[in-house]
Amino acid sequence: MESYRIEGGAPLSGAVRVDGAKNAALPACIASLLTDERVVLHRVPQLRDVSTILYTLGALGGRVVRHADHVSISACGSLSEEADAYSVRQMRASFLVLGPLVARLGQAVVPLPGGCAIGRRPIDLHLDGLKALGARVAEKEGAVVVTAERLRGARIELSYPSVGATEQILMAASLAKGETVIENGAVEPEVEDLARLLRKMGAEIEVVDRTYRVAGASRLRGAEHELIPDRMEAGTLLLAGAVTGGSVTVAGCRSDHLAPLLGLLESSGAGLTIDGEMVTVRGPVRPLPVDVVTAPHPGFPTDLHPPLAAYLSLAAGASSLVEAVFEGRFAYTDALCAMGARITRTGAALTIGGVESLNGRAVAATDIRGGAAMVLAGLAADGYTTVTQLEHIERGYARLEEKLVSLGARIERDDE
Ligand code: EPZ
């Protein structure tokens, strides 16, 4: 059983470079299914989830070559229309192969992804979007079967700016006949990065506010693309610096993508310096409490909710944090409370009553971001913390302990 063993109390200092964004890498890899030419992606993070999607694409018949810092994918030759059940169950984002497969092959069979630790996570907006593009959708033995001679452009208004549904429809519409308009679409930086790649592949995509206009092409070409930096990794590392009262510089990140977090850090009394792609945080002696509600971009990202809660658990007063995106993103709070945090919950609202200190404990990661929150709490706590179930954390953070050690953290990995 692998675990992190953390001795808390050391203020972090120094600089660390972030990787490319996981949530940009996954849809970008999948977009390669839209063409029989080679797609080359740079700054692809070495993550468990990336391995899963590359496995899924290989199982569909794609030729995948992974290099140290880039990946090349060619979905040429005969492609299967049926996605591998194991990988879709491993990782929900695999469900995004549905749109590209039906757009390219006229048929796709993809297992239903089901829920996960952070919520029910329905897929109704994905399926409604494909239906609007003229596809027939049926369910069979725990999978969705989607067929269409050729998808045709349509006007689609999303009832919620879902990241996944917007990406699914953008990819399908790129090979549809005619124009598609998506209203109330997601504008997360990762979605915009996908649109940039699709444009390089030959799709015409305009975005104004939350409205996308896609002029579909009969064929798309290969492309080369560098992924955006991972704002969730950058945010987590900045919070690691802040929670330990240290001074940390994150290099190679986009401060505009981090604006919601940077504003909160300043309100909590942290010092900030932004210099191009470098953001430096100087943690306060004790944070001031803040109130936050998670929301679609440009609101405060739900993925930084748990790491932020770890930071606010040491504030000089009570903060409120409302989770308005995923109804089940609270499992990590038990571990933080076991470490001495005072967190109470009413529905989707947390009250984080600040405490002076946390105590090291043995805790188990529940999901990617919940696990990161436990590591941050351990870095700030008195004594030793062990964090198990690292497979969750490693789905979203590459070489986390190495990066933290480079900042002076006393963390080691125990591979018993
Ligand atoms: C993406 O998930 C990210 N994953 C998530 O990051 C992130 O938390 C989320 O967007 C929100 O920012 C990837 O990009 C791979 P959504 P996604 O569709 O696409 C509801 C991480 O830790 N909804 O925007 O699944 C849904 O239930 C992960 O890296 C419907 O109701 O998120 C949720 O409440 C976790 N019907 C809300 O929308 C649908 O058809 C947001 O979901 C689709 C979604």
Which H or E run contains 296? none
Q: Using CA of residue 290, residue 291, residue 293, residue 296, what is the dihedral sign? A: negative
Query: Hey, which of 325, 366, 393, 397 would you mutate to test ligand 1's pocket, going by the most ligand atoms within 8 Å of its Cβ?
Result: 325
Beta 38-42 vs 155-157: how paired, if at all?
A: unpaired
Report mean pLDDT in 10-residue bins for the chain, 416 residues: 94 98 98 98 96 96 93 95 88 96 97 83 97 97 95 98 98 98 98 98 98 97 98 98 98 98 98 98 97 98 98 98 96 98 98 98 97 98 98 96 98 87
| Among 414, 365, 412, 413, residue whose Cα is nearest residue 393 | 365
CB-based contact 87:52 (threshold 8 Å): yes
Give CA–CA dist 401/395, Å, rounded: 14
Which H or E run contains 312? helix 305-312
Give the chain's length. Answer: 416
Measured between alpha carbons, how far is residue 105 from residues 32, 60, 111, 323, 362 in Å?
13, 12, 17, 39, 50
Please give the pLDDT value at position 416.
63
Q: How far is CA 197 from the centre of its chain?
A: 18
CA angle, 243 as apex, 287 and 2 as ends, to 5°? 155
With a Cβ cut-off of 6 Å, ligand 1 is lined by 22-23, 26, 92-93, 119, 121-126, 160, 162-165, 186, 188, 190, 301-303, 325-326, 368-369, 396
Query: Hey, which of 121, 184, 192, 293 would you mutate to test ligand 1's pocket, going by the most ligand atoms within 8 Å of its Cβ?
Result: 121
Active site residues: 116
Q: Encoding tokens for residue 259?
A: 């604006």
Give CA–CA dist 178/175, Å, rounded: 9
Which H or E run contains 70? strand 70-74
For tokens 């879902």, name the residue: 162
DSSP helix/strand/coil, 385: strand
Please give the pLDDT value at position 116.
75
- This prediction has a pTM of 0.97
DSSP helix/strand/coil, 12: coil
Q: Using only the alpha carbons of the chain, give its radius of gyration.
A: 21
CB-based contact 200:223 (threshold 8 Å): yes
Please give the pLDDT value at position 86.
83
Residue 63 pairs in a beta bridge with: 74
